[in-house]
Amino acid sequence: MGISKEQLIAEIERRRTFAIISHPDAGKTTLTEKLLLYGGAIHMAGSVKARKAAKYATSDWMEIEKQRGISVTSSVMQFNYKNYCINILDTPGHQDFSEDTYRTLVAADSAVMLIDGAKGVEAQTIKLFHVCKMRGIPIFTFINKMDRASKDPFALMQEIEEVLGIQSCPINWPIGTDGDFKGVYNRKLKQIELFTSDNKHGQAIVGSTRGSVDDPVFKDLLGEHYHSRLVDEIELLDVAGDNFDLRKVLKGELTPIFFGSAITNFGVEPFLEEFLQMSPPPGPQAFNDKTVEPESEDFSGFIFKIQANMNPNHRDRLAFMRICSGVFERNMQVYHSSSGKMIRLSQPQQLMAQERELVEVAYPGDIVGLFDPGIFRIGDALSTSGNLTFSGIPSFPAEFFARVTAKDTMKRKQFLKGLTQLSEEGAIQIYKQPDIGIEEFIIGAVGVLQFEVLEYRLKNEYNVDLRLTHLNYRHARWITETPCDPHDLNKTSTTMIVKDMHDNYVLLFENEWSIQWVLDRNKGLVLRDIS
Which ranges in the chain are annotated with CATH 3.40.50.300?
A: 11-278
CB 358 within 8 A of CB 401: no
Instruction: Dump the DSSP string for 370-397.
Output: EE-SS---TT-EEESSS-----------
Q: What is the pLDDT of residue 99?
A: 65
Q: What is the pLDDT of residue 289?
A: 76
DSSP 406: E
Instruction: Dump the DSSP string for 480-519.
Output: EE-SS-GGG----TT-EEEEETTS-EEEEESSHHHHHHHH
> What does the pLDDT profile of the chain (531 residues) look like in tens digits?
578 999 999 999 999 999 988 887 788 888 888 888 877 766 554 534 333 333 445 444 455 455 544 433 446 688 889 999 999 887 655 454 456 777 788 899 999 999 999 999 987 788 788 878 888 899 999 999 988 888 999 999 999 999 999 999 999 999 888 877 888 888 888 888 887 766 665 666 656 677 777 777 777 777 788 888 888 888 898 887 788 999 999 999 999 999 999 888 888 888 999 999 999 999 999 887 789 999 999 999 999 888 765 555 555 678 889 999 999 999 999 999 988 899 999 888 776 545 667 888 999 999 998 888 888 888 899 999 877 887 767 666 788 999 999 999 899 899 988 888 788 777 788 999 988 766 789 999 877 877 888 888 888 888 999 999 999 999 999 999 999 999 999 999 999 999 988 888 999 999 999 999 999 999 999 998 764
Beta pairing, strands 355-358 & 367-371: unpaired
Q: What is the pLDDT of residue 351?
A: 64
Q: Domain 285-383 adopts which CATH fold?
A: Elongation Factor Tu (Ef-tu); domain 3 (2.40.30)
Q: Where are the beta strands (DSSP E) in 267-422?
A: 285-286, 291-292, 300-308, 317-325, 328-329, 332-336, 341-345, 349-352, 355-358, 361-362, 367-371, 381-383, 400-406
Which ranges in the chain are annotated with CATH 3.30.70.3280?
A: 400-528
Q: Quickly count: other Cβ atoms within 10 Å of residue 289's Cβ.
A: 9
Q: How far apart are CA 96 and CA 387, in angstroms?
A: 36
Q: What is the pLDDT of residue 223?
A: 77
Is CATH 3.40.50.150 correct for 11-278?
no
Q: What is the pLDDT of residue 70?
A: 40
Prediction pTM value? 0.77
Which ranges in the chain are annotated with CATH 2.40.30.10?
A: 285-383
Give the CATH superfamily of 400-528: Peptide chain release factor 3, domain III (3.30.70.3280)
Q: What is the pLDDT of residue 46?
A: 52
